[in-house]
Structure 1
């Protein structure tokens, strides 16, 4: 008799679970986009998560780093370091517009360049969670004329597609946009029309490629039937309360922060690739990006298996420290520690976003006045976890004089972008 009761209870619980799932997807179909709900990013952590031993010494070191690299280096942008939900250090300097207009503060969005990929990847994973996309869907499932038959969604996410880089083949073929700027759809159309050779065979190794994320943005548009900027608002930005975050469109030209060359206040010009999004063109603030980081620690924003997939190293053909997950770079050290982050560069914008899983630390550096020194924010990770190489780099940096008369403008040579 007891066994029958247990069986009946299990059946009832299963039916209730199925009904909840049915209601979820029923509401999803009515609204046109998955009903993700709002995540309370202010209540993700316990009090213990935000505690930090030797806090004052850590904060003092961060202050010394900021004074040395940002103040003496004459950088421009926003900088934030947090443990759990407690901001340990935050500072802003410089201007968002030429002629020293619009001082940068906590509410001024800046172009985060390739950190945009982390946000694009999250939107795709949310659609995977909602069963609108499968990670192993072929790109031809969405775009039947796409000429590279073996490329799957997962290969776009982890940069193992082998696709040619759009910025290279556009230049090599001497192609011009239909209007002033190329669009994502034009990138797809050009791939279909010209069929440039793969840079390497699909799924044989890692090759960082902006084309991957430009195509992912198109897939998001296809399955949601919403323009990518609107889809990102509904899927990621609004649920997390990222009020100062948006995907750049030409209508945003007047309000968007500008970027500058290192010396003086000479403005970086726009070019024909500035209309493509997904791989870049997200504008946000350190505080909004901090909300996104907190959501990735939360249990109710993305199911655990998908969240774990973000920080799984997918390219292991050759031994080495550097690897890539889904929308995140990582350094996997011999001691078993894993440093997860993403950098960005576009025109005069250099950016760094560090999301430390174990210590629950977020480090954000968004610069709009070209300097590769922004990437040195990564070394601060050694204050919270056991990253000996980063600690060594930090010590060297703190003992080295900043030369403000020189700055390497060869951004393409930056190994992390």
Structure 2
């Protein structure tokens, strides 16, 4: 009677051995290795949520070579493409609960709405429902977009404070997909320096123009309203505009062609709404300029927008709105498109991704090291 029981216990022990901790760990690592090529730059993002500087440096060191490799292959685009295809195929595109990243709260009605959105050098046509019937004649743009903030309500630049690990300089980075590499580069450039604290929000394909797609003014108001005493942002960094060179339609069926005086007049007002919304809640806003991209045709559009942005910045107090030209930070290596640079006494740095449009995290780190130097001129640190 005892033999079957012993045999059963032996079989049970043998079966249980298949789920040992070592095997569970092995399968977890195997699953991670399979998933890593699909993550791309997303693999670097968690570093911004790590509080301890030593752990942050270890994570950055381990992920940096992997991110560099995955940036050069198209596999990382598979997951977002599949997700968007599923949402559209299942009819969930208008369901807010499925929009876990873009914070879209219903379709944003717009008098001057973009007829199509440009992503890189390719475009897709997207009709926008729900154009409202009234036009703000004073501003020429929707009432929701023309909520100008009184200049008297803009906060003055804070009195000098000595920033340190205990009282870090808190900066909010926000913008389009380009901001991902810039903010991740900022985190990497800071390393163990905890006197500067960074929070990032990047929304691919967003811009100053497409508030019907992503309402940045509304989002900024919500972010700043949620700040707690003692944790308010000392400054913000904005990068938008890569997707802005596109035609606009009025409710009367009149198309405003990108680059025309009529289009530029409306565009300038939209940009100012975003800037004023941010400046109403932070003492200083750093506005990063657009890069030189590889495509000559696309670059011509970007430099036109750069010129418009420069002109708008001149209308503001230069102590509150600080315009920073990213392309000027690398012009010592050449004035045209630069995919990689070689600083003196250093190895080659891959500045741009393979698409010739977006910065690499390594490139973002190079740019942000110079930005950190600027911060040390504008603020006092211990």
What is the TM-score with the length of structure 2 in the denominator?
Answer: 0.23
Q: Counting helix residues as a fraction of each chain, which structure ranks higher? A: 2
Higher relative contact order at CA 8 Å, sep ≥6: structure 1 or structure 2?
1
Greater C-alpha radius of gyration: 2
